[in-house]
Amino acid sequence: MRFYTKDECEDWLQGKERAKPDCIPEIHRAHVHYPTSPGRILYLAHWVAGSLMYRDPALVWITEWGIWDSSENWHLYYKLRQSYGDHRLLHEAPGHLFLGHESEDLASFLQLAMLNGWGGYVLTQADYVNAFFSHDEYIDFFAVLDGNLDGIRKEFGTVEHQITKKV
Protein backbone atom coordinates (compact mmCIF):
# COMPACT_ATOMS: atom_id res chain seq x y z
CA MET A 1 0.00 0.00 0.00
CA ARG A 2 1.10 3.51 -0.78
CA PHE A 3 -0.15 6.93 0.22
CA TYR A 4 -0.48 9.62 -2.45
CA THR A 5 -0.69 13.38 -2.40
CA LYS A 6 -3.53 15.10 -4.25
CA ASP A 7 -1.20 15.74 -7.19
CA GLU A 8 -0.15 12.08 -7.24
CA CYS A 9 -3.82 11.03 -7.26
CA GLU A 10 -4.45 13.31 -10.24
CA ASP A 11 -1.34 11.94 -11.97
CA TRP A 12 -2.55 8.36 -11.37
CA LEU A 13 -5.86 9.17 -13.08
CA GLN A 14 -4.22 11.08 -15.94
CA GLY A 15 -1.77 8.22 -16.47
CA LYS A 16 -4.76 5.99 -17.12
CA GLU A 17 -6.36 8.66 -19.33
CA ARG A 18 -9.36 8.92 -17.03
CA ALA A 19 -11.35 11.45 -15.06
CA LYS A 20 -13.25 11.20 -11.80
CA PRO A 21 -16.34 9.15 -12.65
CA ASP A 22 -18.86 11.80 -11.62
CA CYS A 23 -17.26 14.15 -14.18
CA ILE A 24 -17.92 11.83 -17.12
CA PRO A 25 -21.04 12.73 -19.12
CA GLU A 26 -23.54 9.98 -19.87
CA ILE A 27 -22.00 7.48 -17.45
CA HIS A 28 -24.33 4.95 -15.84
CA ARG A 29 -24.93 5.21 -12.11
CA ALA A 30 -26.32 3.09 -9.28
CA HIS A 31 -27.11 4.97 -6.06
CA VAL A 32 -26.99 3.06 -2.76
CA HIS A 33 -27.69 4.43 0.71
CA TYR A 34 -25.42 3.37 3.56
CA PRO A 35 -26.84 0.73 5.85
CA THR A 36 -27.97 1.82 9.29
CA SER A 37 -25.76 -0.43 11.43
CA PRO A 38 -21.96 -0.51 11.69
CA GLY A 39 -21.93 -4.26 10.95
CA ARG A 40 -23.67 -3.66 7.66
CA ILE A 41 -21.24 -0.87 6.81
CA LEU A 42 -18.48 -3.43 7.31
CA TYR A 43 -20.30 -5.76 4.92
CA LEU A 44 -20.67 -2.98 2.33
CA ALA A 45 -16.98 -1.99 2.57
CA HIS A 46 -15.89 -5.62 2.15
CA TRP A 47 -18.28 -6.11 -0.75
CA VAL A 48 -16.90 -3.03 -2.54
CA ALA A 49 -13.29 -4.10 -1.97
CA GLY A 50 -13.91 -7.70 -2.99
CA SER A 51 -16.12 -6.98 -5.97
CA LEU A 52 -14.58 -3.96 -7.69
CA MET A 53 -10.82 -4.55 -7.59
CA TYR A 54 -10.53 -7.69 -9.77
CA ARG A 55 -7.16 -8.26 -8.03
CA ASP A 56 -5.85 -5.09 -9.65
CA PRO A 57 -4.78 -1.90 -7.85
CA ALA A 58 -7.37 0.60 -6.66
CA LEU A 59 -7.03 4.15 -5.39
CA VAL A 60 -9.14 5.39 -2.48
CA TRP A 61 -8.96 9.17 -2.69
CA ILE A 62 -10.48 10.95 0.33
CA THR A 63 -11.83 14.33 -0.79
CA GLU A 64 -14.23 15.20 2.07
CA TRP A 65 -13.49 15.27 5.78
CA GLY A 66 -14.18 17.55 8.74
CA ILE A 67 -17.86 17.88 7.89
CA TRP A 68 -19.13 15.84 10.86
CA ASP A 69 -16.12 16.66 13.06
CA SER A 70 -17.57 15.25 16.29
CA SER A 71 -17.96 11.76 14.79
CA GLU A 72 -14.50 11.44 13.24
CA ASN A 73 -12.13 9.00 14.90
CA TRP A 74 -8.83 10.62 13.93
CA HIS A 75 -6.89 8.58 16.48
CA LEU A 76 -7.96 5.29 14.92
CA TYR A 77 -7.33 6.55 11.38
CA TYR A 78 -3.81 7.77 12.13
CA LYS A 79 -2.90 4.64 14.09
CA LEU A 80 -4.05 2.54 11.12
CA ARG A 81 -2.14 4.75 8.70
CA GLN A 82 0.98 4.69 10.88
CA SER A 83 0.87 0.90 10.90
CA TYR A 84 1.74 1.18 7.19
CA GLY A 85 4.71 3.43 7.97
CA ASP A 86 3.15 6.73 6.86
CA HIS A 87 3.05 9.65 9.31
CA ARG A 88 1.62 12.36 7.07
CA LEU A 89 -1.70 14.03 7.75
CA LEU A 90 -4.75 13.20 5.66
CA HIS A 91 -4.75 16.59 3.92
CA GLU A 92 -1.08 16.08 2.97
CA ALA A 93 -1.66 12.69 1.35
CA PRO A 94 -5.37 11.91 0.86
CA GLY A 95 -4.78 9.06 -1.61
CA HIS A 96 -4.49 5.41 -0.60
CA LEU A 97 -3.26 3.10 -3.37
CA PHE A 98 -4.04 -0.56 -2.68
CA LEU A 99 -2.34 -3.28 -4.67
CA GLY A 100 -4.39 -6.12 -6.10
CA HIS A 101 -3.79 -8.41 -3.13
CA GLU A 102 -4.74 -5.72 -0.58
CA SER A 103 -8.54 -5.85 -0.79
CA GLU A 104 -8.83 -6.46 2.98
CA ASP A 105 -6.78 -3.31 3.59
CA LEU A 106 -9.01 -1.34 1.23
CA ALA A 107 -12.08 -2.62 3.07
CA SER A 108 -10.68 -1.47 6.43
CA PHE A 109 -9.82 2.03 5.24
CA LEU A 110 -13.13 2.36 3.39
CA GLN A 111 -15.12 1.23 6.43
CA LEU A 112 -13.32 3.74 8.63
CA ALA A 113 -13.85 6.53 6.08
CA MET A 114 -17.57 5.73 5.87
CA LEU A 115 -17.95 5.59 9.66
CA ASN A 116 -16.05 8.90 9.98
CA GLY A 117 -18.49 10.59 7.61
CA TRP A 118 -15.84 11.22 4.96
CA GLY A 119 -16.30 11.25 1.22
CA GLY A 120 -14.13 10.30 -1.69
CA TYR A 121 -13.56 7.94 -4.57
CA VAL A 122 -12.79 4.29 -5.11
CA LEU A 123 -11.02 4.34 -8.46
CA THR A 124 -10.14 0.94 -9.84
CA GLN A 125 -7.44 0.14 -12.33
CA ALA A 126 -9.81 -2.37 -13.94
CA ASP A 127 -12.24 0.53 -14.57
CA TYR A 128 -15.32 -1.70 -14.85
CA VAL A 129 -16.99 0.03 -11.91
CA ASN A 130 -15.80 2.99 -9.82
CA ALA A 131 -17.47 4.69 -6.90
CA PHE A 132 -17.95 7.93 -5.02
CA PHE A 133 -18.83 7.61 -1.33
CA SER A 134 -20.34 10.66 0.33
CA HIS A 135 -20.39 12.21 3.77
CA ASP A 136 -24.15 12.21 3.21
CA GLU A 137 -24.14 8.40 3.66
CA TYR A 138 -24.49 7.05 0.15
CA ILE A 139 -22.33 5.51 -2.53
CA ASP A 140 -22.74 6.19 -6.22
CA PHE A 141 -21.32 3.44 -8.40
CA PHE A 142 -20.34 4.42 -11.95
CA ALA A 143 -19.78 2.37 -15.09
CA VAL A 144 -19.51 3.12 -18.79
CA LEU A 145 -21.51 -0.06 -19.49
CA ASP A 146 -24.81 -0.23 -17.61
CA GLY A 147 -24.55 -4.02 -17.35
CA ASN A 148 -21.48 -3.64 -15.13
CA LEU A 149 -23.83 -2.29 -12.44
CA ASP A 150 -26.15 -5.33 -12.46
CA GLY A 151 -24.36 -7.02 -9.56
CA ILE A 152 -24.67 -3.89 -7.44
CA ARG A 153 -28.36 -3.52 -8.21
CA LYS A 154 -28.95 -7.18 -7.42
CA GLU A 155 -27.01 -6.99 -4.14
CA PHE A 156 -28.23 -3.63 -2.86
CA GLY A 157 -31.17 -2.44 -4.93
CA THR A 158 -31.36 1.14 -6.16
CA VAL A 159 -31.98 4.56 -4.69
CA GLU A 160 -35.61 3.56 -4.09
CA HIS A 161 -34.54 0.75 -1.74
CA GLN A 162 -32.45 0.94 1.42
CA ILE A 163 -29.84 -1.80 1.91
CA THR A 164 -31.60 -4.64 3.68
CA LYS A 165 -29.09 -7.45 3.17
CA LYS A 166 -28.28 -9.15 6.48
CA VAL A 167 -24.67 -9.86 7.29
Low-confidence ranges of the chain (pLDDT < 50): 160-167
Give CA–CA dist 93/5, Å, rounded. Answer: 4
Give CA–CA dist 139/120, Å, rounded. Answer: 10
Residues, the chain: 167
What pLDDT digit, counting tens, does each position of 68-114 carry?
A: 777 899 999 999 999 999 999 999 999 999 999 999 999 999 999 99
- Contact residues for 144 (Cβ-Cβ < 8 A; gap 6+): 24, 27, 28, 127
User: Which pLDDT belongs to residue 157?
Assistant: 80
The predicted model scores a pTM of 0.91
